[in-house]
Every structure is written in structure tokens, then in C-alpha cells.
Amino acid sequence: MDLGLDGNVALVTASSSGLGKASAKALAREGVHVVINGRDEQRLADAAEEIRAVASGDVIAQSGDLTDPEDVETLVARPVEEFGRLDHLVTSAGGPTPMRPLEPDDDEWYEAFDLLTMSVVRVVREAAEHLRSGDGGSIVAIASIAAKRADGGNVLSSSVRTSVVGLEKVLSKDLGPDVRANAVLPGVHETPRLQDVFEAAVERGEYDSYEEAKAARVASIPVEQIGDPDAFGDAVTFLCSDRAGQINGAAVPIDGGESDSIF
């Protein structure tokens, strides 16, 4: 399927690893010029090389901290300086430390909100007029299935990421018809972070092997497989395209059916 994205320009935040990188890679394969972002310059450079290996468009690496307004301003300006436009914004951010509901102190709550929600607010604030000025812009926020599921072991993600979904819903109305805004809610995907979790469980003696740890996690997923980051990136890319033109203000679970939420 030709998604009609060749020559478009996208900014993908927190894309030096994980699902952000997978999304940038999928966009680049479709011929999109992509600006990727991260705080670790070496990891960011490595990610840029990996994406360039499959890209049909240009790949630009711009380091920066999403909690720093000046860094965000510089980040959003980069694709416009390089390509004269910005068509798509994909927002991503690392997850907070898993905690029980009464564990986080005030500072940890504020830090989680700054990382997960205000990072999106800052980037959208800078990018909105650029997105509006094109032929049909899009925003896709990578949140988490935790936004639809009460997770007593990860209260910061379950609580704060819900605000990202609410923000995207408001943006879908406020920025339309020029810009569509959606959120994607990934469940378990085999990212480096999940690989570390499995390996740590093996080291603690909970499982005899990585494959055994993985099989135990698969047991609660109806499709009986852990998500492939590359396939996740394809879903994000589809939502950026005009083929998804009627999808706006949606929060799309990509979790293999694991969540019990109906809506």
C-alpha cells in the first residue's frame, strides 16, 4: 500500500531507542525526511545510522532534553530549517519508574508529569503552526496501554499518561481540519527496556532462560505474542498518512488484546 508520504517531513521525539526509534524507522522507509531526537548523543548517532540503512528520505539527528523549553524550541526549528516544512509530529518519552500508588513523593509526581505530559505540550506548542501550514498535518502521541488500565504497580504511568490521551483528544478538535491528532497505546513490545526486564528476571533466578521469561509474559496476551516494534512503527506511520484521514481524536490500543477495557 502506497501511503503517499514520500517527501513529507516528520519529527519524532525520544527516538534514539525503543518505540520512538521504530516509528522513525518506519516513516523513513516510506520516504519521509525524519528528524530524530534523544539526550544521549552517542545513542542518537547510532540510531541515525541504523535508520539511514533503511531510509528512502534524509535522517537528521538533533539532541535535546524534552523537559528543557529552549531545547524543544531548537528541536522543532530543525526540520523547518533543513526542509522548509513540518508535516508530522510523533511524540514519545521514556517511562517513569514503576511504583505503588502511595510511594511517589511530590517531586516524583511532578517529574513524571513534566516528562510525559509537558514534553508533549511544549513540542506541540512549537510545532502547531508549522503543522497547520501544510497540506494536512498529523500528530501521533505514543502513550501506553497503562492509560486505559489501572496498574497498581505503575501508578505514575497509569495516572499521568491519561492526561496525554486527553490532550490529544482536545487537539484533534482544536487543530482540525488542518491537523489530525491521535494517541497510540502500546502494550508489551520487545524493546531493549523489556529485554532488560527479562534478563534481570533470569539473573534473579525467577526463570532459567530469556525465552522462558518471555513465554511467561506471553501467557496473558490473547494473540500469544509480544509486540514487534517494527510493526508498531508501521501502525504509527499509517496514522500519519492520508489513508487514516478519518481517524482523529482516537486512542488506539496496540496490545494484542491484553487490556480488559471496553473503550
pLDDT in tens, 166-216: 999 999 999 999 999 999 999 999 999 899 989 999 999 999 999 999 999
Q: What is the mean pLDDT of residues 114-125?
A: 97
Distance of CA 132 to the CA centre of its chain: 21
Exposure of 217 in the CB half-sphere (CA atoms within 13 A): 23
SS3 153: coil
| CB neighbourhood size of 245 (10 A) | 11
- Give the tens place of pLDDT for each residue, 65-101: 999 999 999 999 999 999 999 999 999 998 888 899 9
User: Which residue type does 84 have?
Assistant: G
Query: Does the pLDDT at position 1 exceed 90?
Result: no
What cell numbers appear for 157 in the block?
Answer: 504511568
**CA distance linking residue 106 with residue 247, whole number of Å:** 37
% pLDDT > 90, the chain:
89
- To the nearest 10°, the Cα dihedral for 218, 224, 225, 227? -90
For residue 151, pLDDT over 80 is answered with no
Lowest-pLDDT range of 39-43, 96-100, 159-163, 186-190? 96-100
Q: Name the pLDDT band for 129 (thresholds 50, 70, 90).
A: very high
Backbone angles phi, psi at 202, to 5 degrees: -65, -45
Q: Which domains does the chain have, with CATH numbers?
A: 9-188+228-251 (3.40.50.720), 190-226 (no CATH)
Contact 91, 142 (CB under 8 A): yes
Q: Is the pLDDT reported for residue 262 higher than 90?
A: no
Sheet strands (E) in the chain: 9-12, 33-38, 59-63, 88-91, 137-142, 179-186, 251-254
Q: How confident is the model at residue 153 (pLDDT cuts 50, 70, 90)?
A: confident
pLDDT confidence of residue 89: 98
Is the pLDDT at 242 greater than 80? The verdict is: yes
| Percent of all residues in the chain with a pLDDT value above 70, rounded to a whole number | 100
What does the block give as the cell for 40? 544521549
The string of DSSP letters for 10-25 reads EEESS-SSHHHHHHHH
- Mean pLDDT of all residues belonging to the chain: 95
**Residue whose C-alpha cell is 484521514:** 245
